[in-house]
Amino acid sequence: MNMAASAAVRPGLDPLVTGISEIVARGLGRGRTAYAVADLLRSRLPGLDILTPREREGSPDGYVSRPLHSEEGFSIVSVVWRPGQETQIHDHVSWCAFGIIGGIEHETLYRDMGDHLVEIGRVDNRPGEVSGFAPPGDIHKVRNTSDEVGVSIHVYGADVARLGSSVRRVYDLPVR
């Protein structure tokens, strides 16, 4: 499902769609595409006005993931987190690049050891910071540790409107 018509009403979305389309068309491979899209996002990270005030409120029921643009090769998704909201430990169907617009996304990274997970790192992603990654090695949990509603933009190398989510698998293994 192409959501290009909505791009015109979301400030900052059109240049992202154009730039990401050009990068994806190069066929660079997962890792190089994720890093190239992260570089683009770093230079073109939109402001909070990419979402309406109501969309920026989030939900008391959990974080809200909203596709802003989806097509066969990639999707641009906003994620809105109220303080304390978090994901389950999960990995992704594709490469990803993300940029933080507001709040702090505390990310815990894991390695799958077969019968358990091992924590391999933690990072606080703050407003203006951008990163990219590609499977394998993308197992993580994310939590908004700030006192404000967090907003981030995520770009996935898959059509999440068609798939329903960027999550490939949720992990229920013990962490040692």
33-77: pLDDT as tens digits: 999 999 999 999 999 999 999 999 999 999 999 999 999 999 999
What is the largest distance, in Å, between two alpha-carbon atoms of the chain? 47
Give burial (CB, 10 Å; 0-12/13-18/19+) of 139: buried
User: Could you give the domains of the chain?
Assistant: 4-170 (2.60.120.10)
Q: What CA–CA distance (Å, rounded) separates 126 from 128? A: 6
Predicted structure pTM score: 0.91
Write the pLDDT tens digit of every residue in 104-131.
999 999 999 999 999 999 999 999 999 9
**Rounded to the nearest 5 degrees, what angle is found at the Cα of 124, between the Cα atoms of 10 and 34?**
55
